[in-house]
Amino acid sequence: MPWSASVSDEKLSFIMDWQAEVASVAELCRWYGVSRDSGHKLINRFRAEGLDGLKGRSRAPHSHPNAVSEEIVAALLAMRHRYPSWGSKKIRSKLAQENPSVRWPALSTINEILSRHGLTVRRHPRRRAPVDHSGLSSCAASNDVWGVDFKGWFRTLDGMRCDPLSMTDLHSRFVLKLQIVTRPDGAQVWPLFDAAFREFGRPRVMRSDNGPPFAAVAVGGLSSLAVRLIKAGVRPERIAPGKPQQNGRHERLHRTLKDETASPPAADLRAQQRRFDRFRRYFNEERPHEALGQVTPGSVYQPPSRNWSGRLREPEYGSDHLVRRVRQNGEIKWQGGLLFLGEALIGEPVGLVEADNDRWTVSYGPIELGTITEAGKFARSQRGHAPAEIHGPPLPD
H-run or E-run covering 224: helix 224-231
Q: Report pLDDT digits (tens) over 128-138.
A: 444 434 478 88
What average pLDDT does the structure give for the chain? 85
Q: Report pLDDT digits (tens) over 353-396.
A: 998 778 999 999 999 999 998 888 898 886 544 433 333 344 55
Q: Are 246 and 132 in contact (CB under 8 A)?
A: yes
Which positions ≥6 away from 201 have C-beta within 8 Å?
Answer: 143, 303, 304, 305, 306, 307, 308
- pLDDT value at residue 51: 81
11 or 166, greater pLDDT: 166
Residue 66 pLDDT grade (very low, low, confident, very high; cuts 50, 70, 90) = low
Residue 3 pLDDT grade (very low, low, confident, very high; cuts 50, 70, 90) = low
- pLDDT value at residue 299: 93
Q: Report pLDDT digits (tens) over 305-321.
A: 788 999 999 999 999 99
Average pLDDT, integer, range 223-232: 95
DSSP string, 354-387: E-STT-EEEEETTEEEEEE-TTS-EEE-S-----
Q: Is the pLDDT of residue 275 over 50?
A: yes
Q: Is the pLDDT of residue 18 over 70?
A: yes
pTM: 0.70
Residue 338 pLDDT grade (very low, low, confident, very high; cuts 50, 70, 90) = very high
- pLDDT value at residue 385: 46
- pLDDT value at residue 186: 93
Q: Which of 172-176, 194-198, 251-255, 381-385 has the weakest average pLDDT?
A: 381-385
- pLDDT value at residue 63: 62
Q: Which of 204-208, 249-253, 389-393 has the highest mean pLDDT?
A: 204-208
Among residues 367, 392, 394, 395, the alpha carbon closest in space to that of 381 is found at: 367
Phi/psi region, residue 272 (left: phi>0; alpha: psi -120 to 50; beta: rest), is alpha
Residue 255 pLDDT grade (very low, low, confident, very high; cuts 50, 70, 90) = confident
User: Which amino acid type is present at position 1?
Assistant: M
- pLDDT value at residue 351: 95
74 or 384, greater pLDDT: 74
- pLDDT value at residue 249: 73
Q: Is the pLDDT of residue 148 over 60?
A: yes
Q: Is the pLDDT of residue 124 over 80?
A: no
H-run or E-run covering 325: strand 322-325
Structure letter (DSSP) for residue 289: B
- pLDDT value at residue 6: 61
Structure letter (DSSP) for residue 246: G
Residue 165 pLDDT grade (very low, low, confident, very high; cuts 50, 70, 90) = very high
Alpha-carbon distance 116 to 88, whole Å? 13
